[in-house]
Amino acid sequence: MTVCVVGQGGREHAMARLFARSADVVVTPGNPGMPGELFGHKITVDPASPEELGADLTVIGPEAPLVGGLADRLRARGLPVVGPGAAAAALEGSKAFMKQVLAEAGVPTARYGVFDDLAAARAFLAELPGPFVVKTDGLAAGKGVLVTPDREEAEADAAAKLSGRAFGAAGHRVVIEAGLDGIECSIHVLCDGPTVVPMAAARDFKRALDGDRGANTGGMGGYSPPPEVDDALVSRVIDEAVEPTLAALGRRGIEYRGVLYAGIMVTADGPAVIEFNVRFGDPEAQVVLPRLADDPFELFLATATGALRAPPAFAPAFALCVVAAAAGYPEAPVVGERIDGLGPDGQLADPIDGVTVLHAGTTKDPDGAFRVAGGRVLGFGALAPSLGEARDLAYRAAGSVRWPGMHLRRDIGPPARPATVPG
Ligand code: AMP
Ligand code: GLY
């Protein structure tokens, strides 16, 4: 049996290691930190297309191939695939489409407007009390969002996006939103068409710098489970946000089969949807998947084939991941630096029990040394009986690896004072 994982980042590395529990794994295109043998199964990387590979199960990691219709093409060949078709993936491909579907479905979300004209965008910003949120309509790898209390900064950002200077065509339309206040969390579910089951919840750290300062990134770290997200909150998100959204898609004749990620703000009035993503979060996958207690092949095959039954079980352990990024990330990552502290297999040269190095943006020299090849370079993932232990392990691991300009957040983990969920 072979599972094909599509993608090349830290999320896909975590998926490859998960599926190696049940089957051989081929990652396309993958990265050089992935290949090896785990649980008696092989993980290989292959530049061939997922159509050519024709695996027993294909799981698509990133949004771009989903938005581009890869899942439709695989299904047309009769291959089992986890990932929505292009029509459903538009939920992530166009924030304007997502907001429209949420409005139709009556799902709580921030007040918004969609603009391709600066004067109208300015007029809408003038009506909002702030904080202000300016997003590119199209895909921008998590970096196309500005949240600011400053109306002038929001106007300048909308102008830069609309002109195409900041994000090219993805920014020719912007979505402007009222800023929501509350506690943010990432809730993933698996959908097989009619049936929805929850995965473990996670928290992501989206800003580049400690204390949630700096630019929005793809994600600088995360952990699972966030102690303040209980089963009742997850059920409420499924009942009030996920099911109505799937029903609204259904009324358009669109079926959803894959992973759906609800970015939730738990506000004083209850959970509101910040966004839907049509795939696992990165780095959320790195902290959710290692905790899965069920057979991954069976669970994801059931998702692909419409056979989901009971919610999957998760180990009562805590996972935490610290992402180390290249100098200049997210604006202009500096690539090419040689990484010290890794062995030829890409794991720690001096291994630490409970720690996995997840490769995101690396290349490998012929002599076996790894080099920086992207913005987010490595994730240090740890699994332990408590969040504190997981955090200590992840930071100990991160401290044993270095390259010039390596930067990471020092505050990945629960807040110093326990957060309470209002309501
Ligand atoms: P998105 O790509 O839409 O998830 O936005 C990236 C990040 O910006 C989110 O994870 C939030 O931290 C923040 N954000 C987006 N929209 C809002 C909003 N309406 N209110 C507050 N924060 C937001
Ligand atoms: N970590 C946020 C995302 O994957 O969109």
SS3 297: helix
Nearest ligand to residue 143 Cα: 1
Q: Is 289 exposed, middle or buried (0-12, 13-18, 19+ CB in 10 A)?
A: buried
- Position 415 scores a pLDDT of 77
Q: What is the pLDDT of residues 375-401, one digit of tens each?
A: 999 999 999 999 999 999 999 999 999
105 lines ligand 1 (CB under 6 A): no
**Contacts (Cβ under 8 Å, ≥6 apart) of 387:** 223, 227, 318, 320, 413, 414
Nearest 5°: phi and psi at 53? -70, -35
Residue among 98, 102, 128, 133 whose CB has most ligand 1 atoms within 8 A, to mutate: 133
Cα separation, 174 vs 24, in Å, equals: 43
Confidence of residue 421 (pLDDT cuts 50, 70, 90): very low
What does the angle CA 391 – CA 224 – CA 244 come to, to the nearest 5 degrees?
160
The one-letter code for the residue type at 380 is F
Mean pLDDT of the 362-371 span: 96
Q: What is the pLDDT of residues 212-262, one digit of tens each?
A: 999 889 999 999 999 889 999 999 999 999 999 999 999 999 999 999 999
> What is the pLDDT of the chain when averaged over all its residues?
94
Q: What is the pLDDT of residues 68-84, one digit of tens each?
A: 999 999 999 999 999 99
Mean pLDDT of the 127-151 span: 85
Cα separation, 67 vs 49, in Å, equals: 16
* Res. 139: pLDDT tops 80: no
Nearest to 234 by CA among 268, 190, 298: 190
282 lines ligand 2 (CB under 6 A): yes
- Position 145 scores a pLDDT of 87
379 lines ligand 2 (CB under 6 A): no
DSSP strands (E only) in 46-144: 57-60, 81-82, 112-115, 132-136
- Position 136 scores a pLDDT of 85
Q: Are the beta carbons of 223 and 319 closer than 8 angstroms? A: yes
Confidence of residue 33 (pLDDT cuts 50, 70, 90): very high
Q: Please state the separation of Cα 272 from the chain's center in Å.
A: 18
Q: Please state the separation of Cα 237 from the chain's center in Å.
A: 18
* Res. 151: pLDDT tops 50: yes
Q: What is the phi-psi region of residue 207: left when phi exceeds 0, alpha when psi lies from -120 to 50, beta otherwise?
A: beta
Residue nearest to atom 5 of ligand 2 (CA): 281
Ligand 2 atom nearest the C-alpha of 204 is 1
CA distances from residue 81 to 37, 59, 84, 255, 351 in whole angstroms, order as listed: 24, 6, 9, 14, 35
Cα separation, 422 vs 70, in Å, equals: 41
* Res. 422: pLDDT tops 70: no
- Position 137 scores a pLDDT of 81
Nearest to 376 by CA among 395, 361, 397: 361
* Res. 143: pLDDT tops 80: no
Can you list the domains of the chain with their CATH numbers?
Answer: 2-81 (3.40.50.20), 111-178 (3.30.1490.20), 183-305 (3.30.470.20), 318-398 (3.90.600.10)
Q: What is the pLDDT of residues 172-182, one digit of tens each?
A: 889 999 999 99
Residue among 135, 273, 274, 282 whose CB has most ligand 2 atoms within 8 A, to mutate: 282
CA of 219 to the centre of ligand 2 (A): 6
Cα separation, 228 vs 417, in Å, equals: 12
Cα separation, 93 vs 140, in Å, equals: 10
- 378: tokens are 């490595």
Mean pLDDT of the 337-341 span: 98
Q: Is residue 10 within a helix (H) or strand (E), and if so which, with residue range?
A: helix 10-19
**Contacts (Cβ under 8 Å, ≥6 apart) of 286:** 10, 11, 13, 14, 222, 319, 321, 358, 379, 381
Confidence of residue 416 (pLDDT cuts 50, 70, 90): low
Residue among 277, 278, 288, 321 whose CB has most ligand 2 atoms within 8 A, to mutate: 277
Nearest 5°: phi and psi at 50? -60, -30
Q: What is the pLDDT of residues 6-31, one digit of tens each?
A: 999 999 999 999 999 999 999 999 99
Confidence of residue 372 (pLDDT cuts 50, 70, 90): very high
Cα separation, 189 vs 18, in Å, equals: 17
Mean pLDDT of the 165-174 span: 75
